[in-house]
Amino acid sequence: MPIRMTLLDRAIAVVSPQRAFQRIAHREALRGYLKSGDTGRKTKSWRKNNARADEVFSTDGRLTRERAIYLTENNAQVGGAVTALKDHIVGRGITTNCEIRYNPSADDDNAQAIKDREAANQKVEDAKSRWLERAWHVGGSRMDPVEAQTLRLGNIIAAGEDIVHKRYLRDTTRSIPLAYEAIDPSQLTGATGTTAAGTRNIIEDGIEYDTDYNIVAYHIQRNSYALRTDRVPAADIIHSFRTDRPGQRRGISWLAPIIPKVYELEDIIEYALVARRVQSAIAVLVHKNQNGIGMGAAMPMTAPPAGESSTDTDGNRLSHLQPGMIHDVGTGNVTPFTPSQATDLDDLVATIIRAIAVGIGVSYEWCSGDYRKANFASARLGENRTWKRVYSILVFFVRRTESPMHRDFIDMGRAWNLFPAIPQRADAYAASFSQPHRDWGVNPLQEVTATITAMNGGLTSLQDECGKRGKDWRNHLKKITESNEFAKLLDPKLALYNNAQTGLFQDAVAASNDLGGDL
């Protein structure tokens, strides 16, 4: 953009060049700001929408969710990246470590109080593990708790929201009647603007609101055949989604920013394959044929060799060549056709996949599986960046879905005397959730050395490192103690077992080639 200098600027520049430059810089900045609101050629494709957030998500959200779900099921890059996120975040399952405390500031030094607290925590954890085995349902059938977590996390990423129906099923096989049913977000009806029978409430995008715009019920469509719709009170629904705009009532797919790029990638690959297929099907190309004689006929001033014909068995003139067929077209000007090499396709595809990876929040290598240009340092940086994304999603998932269910279980368990009463001075809901299972990275031996250095420097702790690998640090210390005692029987000087850190990473060093080795 050329800089415009007025006559006044030129006059001021004679006296004060600095003042003239400031005037020009200020005017050009203002000009650029005004240009950003222009509706010219470069911005004509932008959508202008001044509607409220709930209106925008109501009209565009459903189509975006459908496209995102299609990509996770049918596109290799998106499906692979989302599956990797789900597998690493959920791992063996997100479990609860209860931390019921009896006034910890006063009782931390009391051995009996610590023992009682650990016993109470263990009872709650055991009761919750037994309950979870029969807690989850989908489509009327029972579902494994780890499978349920993976399903719900996939809904949040692809559909932008997770819907869970709290149900109360009484039978002798359940410790408490509380159960959960996973609801597909598409089952939330798209009805909008209708009035619920007998009330002044309104329904927008399947959610019913009262006159104060509070959510009072959800309208869930059970199937697409009988079009049966159930009205479920809002108190029995856990609706989790990330709020991107004030006033938002439903979730939007986390994959929305990358959907155009993914479709561009599919088109580029498809067209490249079609071009290669067409090129490979062409054997020769006739450059000149002044007499208009078609392929298969004798070229000008030539004739077919003795015993050969320019027609097929039915007398029809040949118009194309089949694979493996050799045909004498004579001495005309014939140009052999060699398929061209798509030299820039790989770089173009890599550029688009890199943009998709940025949109999802993972490294290029995770999204593409291409490690050809990666060294240890770059691959480790990519892994660390991806794991930051994994941990941030875990925190969101636990806060919005797992924590409310944990509180529901504590309340129901106390009401049904499933475990001893928790003193009122204790925090009955206090709990920490297990972290994703993290493998040993690009080079296990180097990762072990880096972890030991970080622990010695106070940058991490045994609790954190065990949590990253899906282990309970307390049980791990017990195992170290037991193995230490056994090692003393074999070697009183502990020459082969010199410290706890060596024991901590012994299995990882022995399995240095196994990226999924346990701690």
CA 307 distance to own-chain centroid: 67
Instruction: Write down the pLDDT at residue 193.
Output: 67
Joined together, the tokens standing for residue 318 give 């040949």
Instruction: Identify the residue with better confidence: 94 or 330.
Output: 94
pLDDT digits (tens, 9 = 90+) for 215-231: 999 988 876 565 778 88
Q: Which of 18-27, 214-223, 502-511 has the highest mean pLDDT?
A: 214-223
Asked if 260 and 71 count as a contact pair (C-beta separation under 8 A), the reply is no
pLDDT digits (tens, 9 = 90+) for 106-155: 555 567 777 777 888 888 888 898 898 888 987 667 888 999 999 999 99
* Coil, helix or strand at residue 340: coil
pLDDT band at residue 459, thresholds of 50, 70 and 90?
Answer: confident
Instruction: Give pTM, 2 decimals.
Output: 0.69
pLDDT digits (tens, 9 = 90+) for 386-404: 888 888 899 999 999 999 9
- Region of poorest pLDDT, from 73-77, 336-340, 435-439, 482-486: 336-340
Enclosing H/E stretch for 204? strand 202-204
pLDDT digits (tens, 9 = 90+) for 45-93: 555 556 665 666 666 777 888 888 888 888 888 888 888 888 888 888 8
Report which of 139, 184, 177, 136 is spatially closest to residue 159, judged by C-alpha positions: 184
- Strands across the sheet with 237-241, in order? 141-143, 136-138, 178-183, 161-168, 237-241
Q: How far apart are CA 337 and CA 465, in angstroms?
A: 61
Instruction: Write down the pLDDT at residue 59.
Output: 65
Q: What percent of the chain shows pLDDT beyond 90?
A: 8
> What one-character DSSP code corresponds to residue 40?
S
Q: How far apart are CA 361 and CA 218, in angstroms?
A: 32
Asked if 368 and 350 count as a contact pair (C-beta separation under 8 A), the reply is yes
Q: Is the pLDDT at 512 greater than 50, yes or no?
A: no
Q: How far apart are CA 159 and CA 253, in angstroms?
A: 5
Q: What angle do CA 254, 372, 276 make, to 5 degrees?
A: 80
pLDDT digits (tens, 9 = 90+) for 238-251: 999 988 877 778 88
Dihedrals phi, psi of 54, to nearest 5 degrees: -65, -30
Work out the average pLDDT over 496-512: 48
First to last CA, the chain: 59
Q: Is the pLDDT at 510 greater than 50, yes or no?
A: no
Q: How far apart are CA 162 and CA 203, in angstroms?
A: 19
Q: How far apart are CA 447 and CA 468, in angstroms?
A: 13
Q: Which of 454-458, 481-485, 489-493 has the highest mean pLDDT?
A: 454-458
Instruction: Identify the residue with better confidence: 327 or 28.
Output: 28
Dihedrals phi, psi of 476, to nearest 5 degrees: -65, -40
- Region of poorest pLDDT, from 1-15, 196-210, 273-287, 505-519: 505-519
Which residue type is seen at 118? E
Work out the average pLDDT over 287-309: 48
pLDDT band at residue 417, thresholds of 50, 70 and 90?
Answer: confident
Q: How far apart are CA 193 and CA 185, in angstroms?
A: 19
For the chain, what are the domain ranges? 259-346, 438-519
Report which of 308, 222, 248, 253 is spatially closest to residue 82, judged by C-alpha positions: 253
Instruction: Write down the pLDDT at residue 164.
Output: 92
Q: How far apart are CA 366 and CA 383, in angstroms?
A: 8
For 205: left if phi > 0, alpha if psi spans -120 to 50, otherwise beta; the answer is: left
Report which of 187, 268, 284, 199 is spatially closest to residue 232, judged by C-alpha positions: 187
C-alpha pair distances (Å), 464 with each of 283, 341, 388, 454: 64, 51, 14, 11
The DSSP code sequence of 391-414 is HHHHHHHIIIIIHHHHHHHHHHHH
pLDDT band at residue 17, thresholds of 50, 70 and 90?
Answer: confident
Instruction: Write down the pLDDT at residue 85.
Output: 87
